[in-house]
Chain A
Amino acid sequence: MRRLTRDRLTSFALITPSVVAIAVFVYGFIAFNGYSSLARWDSLLPDFTFVGLRNFQKLFTLARFQIDVRNMLTFIGLFIPACLAIGFVLAVLLDQRVKGEGLFRSIFLLPMAISAIVTGVVWRWLMSPGTAETGSYGINLLLEQIGAGFLKSGWYTDPQFGIKAVVIAAAWQMSGYTMAMYLAGLRGIPEELREAARIDGASELQIYRHVVLPLLRPITFSAAIILGQIALNIFALVVAMTGPGPGFSTDVPALFMFDTTFRGGNFAMGAAIATIMLLLVMGLVVPYLIHTFRSEVQV
């Protein structure tokens, strides 16, 4: 009995620091953020006068916030399918037992290891439209040289294109990650299943459609959740690449929050934006976690 107590003491002692740290620095700060969003605190001096949901009411009327929400939806709507599609195609290609698979895998995964700031800067250069005096740069120059000059674009400098330029950079960075997930999934599908389908009369395309893709559905689901979470929180890439852009055409909520809080000094409003972002991410992740835990219990 005594030993048991001592074991339990040890385990408590080992667990306590991280419990305390998470309680304070994660949940404590979330609570503080929520509290701030309901306060007046619109200047550098803390002012915790309770104002209810007034900050949120005002936020929803702001043009910049409305544009941000639209940008975010565009971003999510393009970024997730792009990563899934590119990642899947790369995984299928790598799954053909190509020579140098390890090398290709590393190459495709590498962008993920690069800091978003670096990615942003590089793509800023690549997508720089150039001027009449200097001629074209980067991608535009490339398009010109291969005779596809009609595809030239102002990229992020064109308010019509705007956030889509960031989608390209973000998809470049994260597609390798979905590829890795899909590749693992593909390797987990027994060869006999494909053979059975082949004998059943399925063409290679039909095998992917009727057997492989349905079996990869859990992976697609997980990848979409993780990519969605990344999309909702995207910040560093936008800062380094474009900033808010002309007419906020490349702006995102995280950038707005940063500007409002640390440049505008409106802490309560910043906290309100942060709260909304948190709720959006929770809306995505919490059902996923519940689903995951449930299926783990089932197995």
Chain B
Amino acid sequence: MSESSPETTTPTESETPLLEVRNLKVHYPIYGGLMRKVVDYVRAVDDVSFRVNRGTTVGLVGESGSGKTTIGRSIIKLAPITGGQILYAGSEKENSPKSPTNIAELSRGAFFPFRQKIQMVFQDPFNSLNPRMTIEQIISEPLDIHFSSMGKEEKTARVVELLGKVNLPADARKRYPHEFSGGQRQRIGIARALAVEPEFIVCDEPVSALDVSVQAQIVNLLQDLQEELGLTYLFIAHDLAVVEHISDFVLVMNQGKIVEQAPAAEIYENPQDPYTKKLLAAVPTL
């Protein structure tokens, strides 16, 4: 973006979001009665639309059961999508498409290249790392899948590089998850997500299970990595204080619907929806 001539930075171009979700619905059937017929649906995500611009962080906040995790999971096709579109614009690199693709309707195979571009960091660093694998095996597993041509030494070098990026020593690669603290494990989870050079990372409550002091370290790390690698985040959390800190734009969810969306500063200064006000009131003040 070094050129500033009007031809190269037309408003439409800069406004194309990396990810756009349109009218997303995820409904789970409830079976009942003698014949196990579908009697109703749980509307986990009900007609949700939002956009995420490249290089920014969109915070998604709400209580347990509000559907925020389901949105994150449906973006990486881990949740069954009932309706709506998820448009992913991809990068300018040759191997990814230029015009937005509706990843919601892609088959498993067709979605495969997008799995490299879209990665996820999970909530619980104790359950999301396989206890029987070394850190090197954990971090290099996505490389085996997406960069299968990589040689053994090259992979090790990449693992060491990634450990450095998340501020862990190189010798950590020979150790097992139980030898690390919660914060260190979350760093390993982040390194694993970064291994395949993603553009977009869904962070599903990445700091909820951590001590406040460690939470601060992880949030800072995510911000540093965003600056360094130009990453785009969907940051899911229930703590509005953390979300407000890390996000450019905030979505507030309640019972499967987005009840309010606004720039981060505005949500705090001028909340509109009663539910947002309730969430703000619940944050402890010192």
Q: Do A and B bind each other?
A: no
- The chain A residues found within 8 Å of chain B, CB to CB, are none
